[in-house]
Amino acid sequence: MQKSSITIASKLPGIEQSIFSVMTALATKHNAINLAQGFPDFNCPPRLIELVNKYMLEGKNQYAAMPGILPLREKIAEKANRLYGSNYEPVNEITITAGGTQAIYTAISAVVKEKDEVIIFEPGYDSYLPAILINKGAPKYVQLSPPNYKIDWDQVKKLVNYRTKLIIINTPHNPSGMVFTADDMKQLQKIVAKTDIMVLSDEVYEHIIFDGRKHESVCKYPDLASRAFVVFSFGKTYHTTGWKMGYVLAPKEMTEEFRKVYQYSMFSAMTPLQYAFNNMLDDVEHYMQLPDFYQKKRDIFLEAIKGSRFKPIPCEGTYFQCLDYSGISNENDRKMAEILTKQYGIASIPTSVFYHDKVDHKILRFCFAKGEETLKEAGEKLSKI
């Protein structure tokens, strides 16, 4: 292609190529074990593939209803009711999306206007900030620090003012593995009470939570739920991150605004997948055993690095284990991740990328959604460092 003469005044000038693509490319080049990007290296339940195939053959290949097929939305309402005691109405309060990220982008675009302030916690999943910026919102940061990454709610309270439009929370939390407690939810509830502040709750790891902890969904707190978009992802629950399907729960008035944006950016999500997930949700056991399934993986990884010089950060949920390498090296975390990939054959994510000002706590994030052998091999490599 001939070089374009067009110059674009970027709408996202400070935003670089995502670290996930960078580290994955480096891992491939150096044939390293890729514990960088968060995805399982094992397959989804075979029945799910059979169901998608069945519905494709049956001709469920045309546009679904804009908010998603109704039986799936009904099934989701039942699930949320059983797990969290909520009463979302399938017709007006549940929307199927093309994954959690698309739901997050849509929710932010639906409500954030120029100069609206949005409180986000750092480190944080990297899709929140660009969505705020492209909508001309003003991000306000609350920093969480290792080893526990606990939220200082007094700091949140100090940031709140008449411009605050939205607070974005994420539990279980990527990248730290921290999980919100009931007390966190009550503190948040107290802060937003008697304000018009909305909440965007990213709960894509709702079923990946350990050591007997219970997921504190916003759906359990009526005063929060009545002002919240709550985002979930089938990608995490069914080991299908590449299918990009999720959903958002929100009160009718908020869903109406959400759908105004959704219908002109996506219109509807993939039809045969929706029918398949509708059947899969009948198997409650699948998601009820996920905490156990992933906790075993976390523990295999922790056991495999026990003799190493890395110091594990407490992982209460998600499929990420953060490791502190300050006892090994003074290199910054980007450089350290590069060295581990090139010289030791193991790829991770430097956690500084999850802070807008790239705070370097000398902590790397490793994804343990991998087979047992891979985790043990990774542990061996890390133990040599």
**Contact footprint for ligand PMP (CB under 6 A):** 38, 99-101, 125, 170, 174, 202, 204, 233, 235, 241, 244, 246
| Smallest distance, ligand PMP to C-beta of residue 50, A | 22
| HSE-up (13 A, CA, CB side) for residue 11 | 9
Residue with Cβ nearer ligand PMP (106 or 308)? 106
Residue of 369, 366, 370 lying closest to 351 (CA atoms) = 366
369 close to 41: Cβ distance less than 8 angstroms: yes
| Smallest distance, ligand PMP to C-beta of residue 286, A | 17
| Smallest distance, ligand PMP to C-beta of residue 241, A | 5
| Smallest distance, ligand PMP to C-beta of residue 266, A | 12
| Smallest distance, ligand PMP to C-beta of residue 127, A | 7
- Residue 272 carries which DSSP code? H
Residue with Cβ nearer ligand PMP (170 or 255)? 170
DSSP string, 88-148: --HHHHEEEESSHHHHHHHHHHHH--TT-EEEEEES--TTHHHHHHHTT-EEEEEE--TTT
| Smallest distance, ligand PMP to C-beta of residue 9, A | 28
DSSP string, 341-378: HHHHSEE-EEGGGGSTT----SEEEEE--S-HHHHHHH
Q: How far is CA 194 from CA 158, 191, 227, in A?
A: 16, 8, 11
Residue with Cβ nearer ligand PMP (203 or 333)? 203
Residue with Cβ nearer ligand PMP (232 or 308)? 232
327 close to 309: Cβ distance less than 8 angstroms: yes
Residue of 90, 140, 98, 95 lying closest to 115 (CA atoms) = 140
259 phi/psi in degrees, rounded to 5: -70, -25
| Smallest distance, ligand PMP to C-beta of residue 37, A | 8
Residue with Cβ nearer ligand PMP (83 or 96)? 96
Residue with Cβ nearer ligand PMP (246 or 350)? 246
Residue with Cβ nearer ligand PMP (172 or 272)? 172
Spatial separation of the C-alpha atoms in residues 336 and 366, rounded to whole Å: 13
